[in-house]
Amino acid sequence: MKTFPLNHVVESQQFDRDLLELVFQMADQMKADLFGERKYAKYLEGKIMASLFYESSTRTRFSFESAILRLGGSVITTENAREFSSAAKGESLTDSTKIMAGYADIIVMRHNEAGSASRAAEVSSVPVINAGDGAGQHPTQALLDVYTIIDAFPDVNNIKIAMVGDLRYGRTVRSLSYLLTKYENVEIIFVSPHVCKMEADIKTYLEKNGTPWREEQDLALVAQEVDCIYMTRIQKERFHSIKDYHAAASKYILTPDIVQTMKPNAIIMHPLPRVDEIPKEVDDDPRARYFEQAKNGLYIRMALLYLLLQ
């Protein structure tokens, strides 16, 4: 096993192809081990993970907590760090991080401000994993997203992917865009309401790294040409204007009629949670991969904890 060169995981740009392959190989091993001999069951015995979530979460939080427990480690946490940690008394994020680094071997942090994970990593003596920082990034989601894409398209190269919905405030699509530049001949089509288009920094990054992109409005047309549709929720909590939110809400819905026109081997992804953008009737379509995608989060996060703490 190669050594893992990262001290912290704060953004997707930290990963190159070699590192991606290392994480995915490790995730494969973790997945096989969970259904096999369980040789990793005590590997992180004695290690403590601090789960510091200032924003709500189901998948990221529980999969990280499950991951450390399945590797033999333990979790310290507070139900809602914004309310029940000393942040409520005005403690700065950097002070809280320095304190938590004295109590835990690794910190997994979700925060409402973009850049918060990077600020925490700068002062932490133990690894910090960004579990989502506002509208910034969600690198571990992007890792599990690419891991899911690879399952359907093993070399990733030559695929066309549509990212749909809240691209302006969506940290998952930002992190995924960065990672997709690591693969050849990937084309990205952005489909979003006018008020939540993909930001210019990502478009510039894609151009600089040779990943073609374009914007379209008609989801029904785009659905017919792509290999992957990555739907996202319109995130009401991130909008500064309720008028803008209403201009975006329920605009793009992947109806069963649209799904019927997709390529037979195409896949449908979503970081979840969803609101109305994928009706439940689509869940039984073999192209729907979002529940499997969420499950892949466990294997990816086990791999990351193992690699960062080994």
Question: For ligand CP, which stretch binds (CB under 6 A), given 58-66, 197-205, 213-221, 227-235?
Answer: 58-66
Site for ligand CP in 38-57 (CB under 6 A): 57
The yes or no reply on residue 58 touching ligand CP (CB under 6 A) is: yes
The catalytically annotated residue of 39, 89, 240, 243 is 89
Which one-letter amino acid corresponds to residue 223? Answer: A
Question: For ligand CP, which stretch binds (CB under 6 A), given 28-36, 59-67, 240-248, 284-292?
Answer: 59-67
Asked if 138 is an active-site residue, the reply is: yes
CB of 305 to ligand CP, least distance (A): 16
Alpha helices in the chain (DSSP H): 17-34, 59-70, 81-84, 93-101, 116-123, 139-152, 171-180, 200-208, 219-225, 242-248, 256-260, 290-309
Closer Cβ to ligand CP, 15 or 40, answer by number: 15
Q: What is the DSSP letter of 282?
A: G
CB of 256 to ligand CP, least distance (A): 23
The yes or no reply on residue 139 touching ligand CP (CB under 6 A) is: no
Closer Cβ to ligand CP, 51 or 85, answer by number: 51
From first CA to last CA, the distance across the chain in angstroms is 11
CB of 63 to ligand CP, least distance (A): 8
Which one-letter amino acid corresponds to residue 197? Answer: K
Instruction: Report d(CA 152, CA 165) in Å as an integer.
Output: 23
Asked if 119 is an active-site residue, the reply is: no
One residue of 106, 127, 271, 302 binding ligand CP per CB under 6 A: 271
Distance of CA 281 to the CA centre of its chain: 25
Whether 100 contacts 125, CB under 8 Å: no
The catalytically annotated residue of 61, 111, 119, 138 is 138
CB of 220 to ligand CP, least distance (A): 26
| Cβ neighbours for 165, distance < 8 A, ≥ 6 positions apart | 191, 192, 196, 231, 232, 233, 234, 252, 277
Whether 136 contacts 174, CB under 8 Å: yes
One residue of 226, 267, 272, 298 binding ligand CP per CB under 6 A: 272
Instruction: Report d(CA 239, CA 236) in Å as an integer.
Output: 6
The yes or no reply on residue 177 touching ligand CP (CB under 6 A) is: no
Q: At 214, give phi and psi (nearest 5°).
A: -150, 165
3-state secondary structure of 173: helix
CB of 271 to ligand CP, least distance (A): 4
CB of 171 to ligand CP, least distance (A): 8
The yes or no reply on residue 60 touching ligand CP (CB under 6 A) is: yes
One residue of 73, 127, 132, 193 binding ligand CP per CB under 6 A: 132
The catalytically annotated residue of 59, 61, 174, 289 is 59
Total residues in contact with ligand CP, by rule CB under 6 A: 11
Q: What is the DSSP letter of 9?
A: B
Residues classed as catalytic:
59-60, 89, 110, 138
Give the interface with ligand CP as residue ranges (CB under 6 A): 57-61, 132, 138, 141, 271-273
